[in-house]
Amino acid sequence: MKKEKILIFDTTLRDGEQTPGAGLNVNEKLKIALQLENLGVDIMEAGFPRTSKGDLEAVKTVSRHIKRSVVCGLARATKKDIDDAAEALKKAKKPRIHVFLATSKIHMKYKLKKAEEEILRTAVDAVKYARRKLPDVEFSPEDASRTEPGFLRKVVEEVIKAGARTVNIPDTVGYAVPVEFGSTIKMLKDTVPNIEDAVISVHCHNDLGLGVSNSLAAVLNGARQVECTVNGLGERAGNAALEEIVMAIKMRKDIFKGLYTDIKTEELYKTSKLVSKLTGIIVQPNKSIIGENAFCHESGIHQDGVLKKRVTYEIIRPQDVGFEGSKIVLGKLSGRHAFSDRIKKLGFSLSSDEIDAAFKRFKDLADKKQKIYDDDLAAIVEEGLDAVQEMYKLKDFEVVSGKKTKPVATVKLYHQGQETEARATGDGPVDACFKAIEKASGEKGKLVDYRVGAVTSGKDALGEASVKIQFDGRIVVGRGTSTDVIEASLRAYVNAINRVHSSGYGGKTRKTAKSLRGKARKA
Ligand code: KIV
Ligand code: ZN
């Protein structure tokens, strides 16, 4: 059987970052990029350089660090966009420019206000211009699934002639259904004369929940690159989920005959956790492949079946996607050597100073928590690696709350060597704390999301809080951990304020974001 590789083009850092409320700074993008490379993605779209300084910086930084994967920058079909993308990709080992231009009647008439001939000419000129900058150019006729087939054929043929090595067919608004989308790919493969000179790619959105199905239908009809995101993040309802596409191809070799990807599937869970943590977008427990319940068997009949023979109710081995029970590793009496050894095994490479600082946090935690799990260790190390300058530091806090008492919080902060203190009441203890921080720091923001979760299980589990705060139209994510959820929440809020002041933040402006302060009220 002929073996053929399906290229995995990850766009978590570009389309994924367009998820409402997901904003990543340069350092966070780099962390995700390095993990995407470990995961084995063939191409990663690191950003859209023309849109913001943060994105330009992020593409530059990712380009400098990534060795094996192709690094891609998105550009509209204009010289300025292409110049910026080329500039941002200068240091990349394997750079790619991805040019896009809408080709559907709806987009041409209402958005671009241009006729077919002009669109075709602009697309061809843009590809030629990008090819003068770089050999690896991809072109996307945006809204391809709603483009008139004759025009789509023409555009695909002409951009390949102009030098596009990859032509991506986006289902931009997630409108297609699998049988139809598969036929579109087949039609292009059968009728575009020079189609073999380019890789056909697909990019499916999830508005009807069909992103993965459409991508797989396309693969069965000749697409050899799939654009997708970790956890299915992306604009509106998101993009096709990388983990689902990869595992479908791997598990159903009988259907996807001879097709394979180079993804190290054991890295999927870790990648999903990292992306969820840094974007602040939680993964639903019943999410396929990497959701916390994906390998839990609740009913007695199922449990009995799995105990007798795993394959009765489990089609994937949990270990194959990176699920592994957390191991008890260290405790109060563990020394620095055992600690740094375990940190290395978890994949962190820290300087001696960073190990010292992490070891101190570990000891503080070990005073409060008997058993320290791998996930706890990862959380405390990552908190320390958060390269945000600590303009404000939480010094102390006190909260009084009760059924018949209006919650009141006193918060002490350090700000540039000075101590500031403020007291505030709120609808709940967390709300009171947040208001006290605002008073103490003078930084006014609007809370748009607030979540707390446990890093590991048990009564003394490390709690992790994440907040999204809108400052002047910019949404910033803040995170904090502690065995006390109120302290974790305060740390998260202070972290968000510090992030506003740190450079290179790529957070997106969302004027329509609704205040969810109420969410924190009764917490
Ligand atoms: O959804 C879309 O059409 C896109 C393009 C830029 C490929 O994201
Ligand atoms: Zn998209």
Phi, psi dihedrals of residue 503, rounded to the nearest 5°: -80, 165
Do 159 and 192 share a domain, yes or no?
yes
Quickly state the pLDDT bin for 244 (edges 50, 70, 90).
very high
Domain span holding position 58: 4-279
Q: What's the structural domain count of the chain?
A: 3
Q: Is residue 519 part of a domain?
A: no
Whether residue 521 is predicted with pLDDT greater than 60 in this model: the reply is: no
Q: Which amino acid is at 25?
A: N
Q: Are β-strands 259-260 and 418-425 bridged in parallel, bridged antiparallel, or unpaired?
A: unpaired
Q: Within 6 Å (CB) of ligand 1, which residues are found?
A: 15, 74, 100, 140, 142, 168, 170, 172, 203, 205
Average pLDDT for 186-212: 98
- Summarised one tens digit per residue, pLDDT across range 397-454 is 999 999 888 999 999 999 988 999 999 999 999 999 999 999 999 998 889 889 888 8
DSSP annotation string for 469-493: EEETTEEEEEEEEESSHHHHHHHHH
pLDDT, averaged across the chain:
90
Q: Is residue 520 part of a domain?
A: no
Residue whose CA lies nearest to ligand 1 atom number 4: 172
Do 191 and 331 share a domain, yes or no?
no
Q: Which amino acid is at 57?
A: E
Q: Is residue 285 part of a domain?
A: no
Do 301 and 269 share a domain, yes or no?
no
Do 487 and 372 share a domain, yes or no?
no
Which of 15-24, 53-62, 290-299, 348-357 has the highest mean predicted lDDT (pLDDT)?
A: 53-62
- Summarised one tens digit per residue, pLDDT across range 68-113 is 999 999 999 999 999 999 999 999 999 999 999 999 999 999 999 9
Which helix (H) or strand (E) segment holds residue 464: the answer is: strand 463-471
Do 197 and 262 share a domain, yes or no?
yes
Do 116 and 243 share a domain, yes or no?
yes
User: Higher confidence at residue 467 or residue 245?
Assistant: 245
Using a 10 angstrom Cβ sphere, with 0-12 exposed, 13-18 middle and 19 or more buried, the burial of residue 199 is middle
Residues 5, 160: Cα–Cα separation, whole Å? 21
Single out the residue in 337, 359, 383 at which a domain terminates.
Answer: 383
Using a 10 angstrom Cβ sphere, with 0-12 exposed, 13-18 middle and 19 or more buried, the burial of residue 448 is buried
Q: Any idea what the CATH number is for the domain that residue 245 is in?
A: 3.20.20.70
- What's the confidence (pLDDT) of residue 383? 75
Atom number, ligand 1, closest to the C-alpha of residue 168: 7
Atom number, ligand 1, closest to the C-alpha of residue 143: 3
Residue whose CA lies nearest to ligand 1 atom number 6: 100
Q: Is residue 507 part of a domain?
A: no
Q: Are β-strands 225-228 and 7-10 bridged in parallel, bridged antiparallel, or unpaired?
A: parallel
Q: Is residue 244 part of a domain?
A: yes
Do 63 and 98 share a domain, yes or no?
yes
Counting ligands in written order, which one lies closest to the CA of residue 201?
1
Do 88 and 233 share a domain, yes or no?
yes
* pTM (2 d.p.): 0.81
201 HSE (CA, 13 A, CB side):
29
Q: Is residue 181 part of a domain?
A: yes
Q: Is residue 103 part of a domain?
A: yes
The set of residues, in sequence order, having a beta carbon less than 8 Å from that of 187 and lying 6+ positions away, is 149, 153
DSSP annotation string for 412-436: EEEETTEEEEEEEE-SSHHHHHHHH
Single out the residue in 383, 401, 434 at which a domain terminates.
Answer: 383
Do 153 and 35 share a domain, yes or no?
yes
Quickly state the pLDDT bin for 386 (edges 50, 70, 90).
low
CA separation, residue 10 to residues 109, 175, 192, 268 (Å) = 31, 21, 26, 13
Of 280, 230, 258, 404, residue with least CA distance to 20: 280
Of 91, 97, 94, residue with least CA distance to 37: 94
Do 411 and 378 share a domain, yes or no?
no
Q: How far is the CA of 173 from the centre of ligand 2 (A)?
A: 8
Residue pair 7/33 in contact (Cβ under 8 Å)? The answer is: no
Best of 78, 97, 142, 229 for a ligand 1 pocket test (most atoms within 8 Å of beta carbon):
142
Q: Is residue 288 part of a domain?
A: no
Residues 334, 367: Cα–Cα separation, whole Å? 12
Of 197, 175, 202, 174, residue with least CA distance to 186: 202
- Summarised one tens digit per residue, pLDDT across range 440-453 is 999 988 898 898 88
Q: How far is the CA of 61 from the centre of ligand 1 (A)?
A: 23
Do 379 and 399 share a domain, yes or no?
no
The set of residues, in sequence order, having a beta carbon less than 8 Å from that of 61 and lying 6+ positions away, is 26, 29, 30
- What's the confidence (pLDDT) of residue 325? 57
DSSP state of 296: -
Quickly state the pLDDT bin for 500 (edges 50, 70, 90).
confident
Q: Any idea what the CATH number is for the domain that residue 413 is in?
A: 3.30.160.270
